């Protein structure tokens, strides 16, 4: 939501964005936004992925996009600061084997997996956790390469799963909530995460780690982004080819979220460029 004091200078913002279905289209292409991403990196405006992807997947994205900013993985399970200079990661945080520091926020996947099995038993249904799927099955469901599918399966802070087709996700979400857990619906998988780790709580931790106290422009496309969008100073929904996700429509109608004019990287670049470089006010 735009606040009356929303800054109009780009360097006073950070952009916190979902990846799949938001900046990336369903073929994982973000090329229409690549020039803007490079410009924001040069201007020192952090573009911070906030995604259900694993750290290794985001590292690959960061390298391709030329970004050096922090990133939030596995639906808020941890924040990685590959270059922690200029940030103040809260505690606990520890060195990341690949460089920089990592700040865990959620529960380890090994702790979550038995809880997912218990939810399935209680609902008398079957879930198909990502880690149990064959590499071929993951590739067929995600369109990822063999290498990409392997990176996607290396979870630390969440258990992605496919519910049985006769199992409404709302029922799974409700039972998880009743058991003190969280199930979030993404584009291709549902995700079991710890109660203290969603994208909104990760955004709050990120804001505390930002000594410059920048305003947040957030972008998302799915119900698992609502906590992120609700915690931002300006929230933008990226539509799919058939319009915005139906569960985000009420907040768009209410004016809490702004709807981008086009899907994926085209809409992303248009909305970010417009918001960070507003035209001079007309007198």
Catalytic positions, please? 18
208-247 binders of Mg ion (CB under 5 A)? 221-222
| DSSP characters over 96-157 | -TTSSEEEE-S--HHHHHHHHHHHHHHHT--EEEGGGS-HHHHHHHH---HHHHHHHH--SS
Least separation in angstroms between residue 99's CB and Mg ion is 27
Q: Could you say whether residue 20 binds Mg ion (CB under 5 A)?
A: yes
Q: Identify which of residues 24 and 133 has a Cβ nearer to Mg ion in the complex.
A: 24
CB contact at 8 A, 215 and 7: yes
Q: What are the tokens at 213? A: 């106290």
Give how many residues touch Mg ion by CB under 5 A.
Answer: 5
> Cis before residue 92, ω within 30 degrees of 0?
yes
Q: Could you say whether residue 197 binds Mg ion (CB under 5 A)?
A: no
Least separation in angstroms between residue 52's CB and Mg ion is 7
Q: Identify which of residues 102 and 184 has a Cβ nearer to Mg ion in the complex.
A: 184
Q: Identify which of residues 20 and 57 has a Cβ nearer to Mg ion in the complex.
A: 20
Q: Could you say whether residue 160 binds Mg ion (CB under 5 A)?
A: no
84-143 binders of Mg ion (CB under 5 A)? none
Q: Identify which of residues 194 and 228 has a Cβ nearer to Mg ion in the complex.
A: 228
Provide CB contacts within 8 A for 270, sequence distance 6+. Answer: 260, 261, 262
Q: Could you say whether residue 74 binds Mg ion (CB under 5 A)?
A: no
**Residue number with the smallest Cβ distance to Mg ion:** 21
For residues 278 and 155, what is the distance between their CA atoms, to the nearest angstrom? Answer: 40
Least separation in angstroms between residue 72's CB and Mg ion is 13
Beta bridge partners of 185: 190
**Where does residue 23 rank: exposed (0-12), middle (13-18), buried (19+ CB within 10 A)?**
buried
* Selected binder of Mg ion within 14, 16, 18, 158 (CB under 5 A): 18
Applying CB under 5 A, the residues found at the interface with Mg ion are 18, 20-21, 221-222
């Amino acid at each position: 939501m735009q606040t009356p004091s929303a800054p109009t200078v780009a360097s006073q913002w950070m952009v916190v964005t979902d990846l799949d279905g938001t900046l990336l289209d369903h073929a994982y292409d973000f090329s229409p936004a690549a020039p803007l991403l490079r410009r924001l990196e040069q201007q020192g405006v952090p573009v911070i992925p906030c995604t259900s992807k694993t750290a290794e997947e985001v590292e690959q994205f960061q390298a391709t996009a030329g970004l050096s900013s922090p990133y939030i993985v596995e639906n808020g399970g941890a924040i990685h600061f590959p270059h922690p200079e200029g940030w103040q990661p809260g505690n606990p945080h520890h060195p990341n084997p690949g460089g920089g520091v990592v700040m865990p926020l959620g529960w380890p996947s090994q702790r979550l997996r038995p809880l997912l099995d218990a939810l399935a038993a209680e609902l008398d249904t079957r879930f198909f956790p990502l880690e149990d799927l064959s590499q071929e099955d993951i590739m067929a469901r995600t369109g990822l390469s063999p290498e990409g599918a392997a990176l996607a399966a290396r979870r630390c802070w969440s258990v992605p799963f496919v519910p049985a087709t006769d199992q409404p996700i709302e029922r799974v979400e409700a039972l998880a909530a009743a058991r003190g857990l969280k199930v979030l619906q993404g584009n291709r998988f549902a995700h079991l995460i710890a109660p203290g780790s969603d994208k909104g709580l990760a955004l709050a931790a990120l804001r505390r780690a930002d000594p410059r106290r920048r305003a947040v422009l957030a972008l998302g496309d799915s119900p698992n982004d609502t906590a992120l969008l609700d915690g931002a100073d300006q929230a933008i929904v990226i539509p799919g080819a058939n319009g915005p996700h139906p569960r985000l429509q009420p907040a768009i109608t209410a004016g809490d979220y702004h709807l981008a004019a086009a899907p994926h990287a085209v809409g992303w670049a248009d909305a970010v460029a417009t918001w960070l470089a507003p035209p001079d006010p007309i007198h």
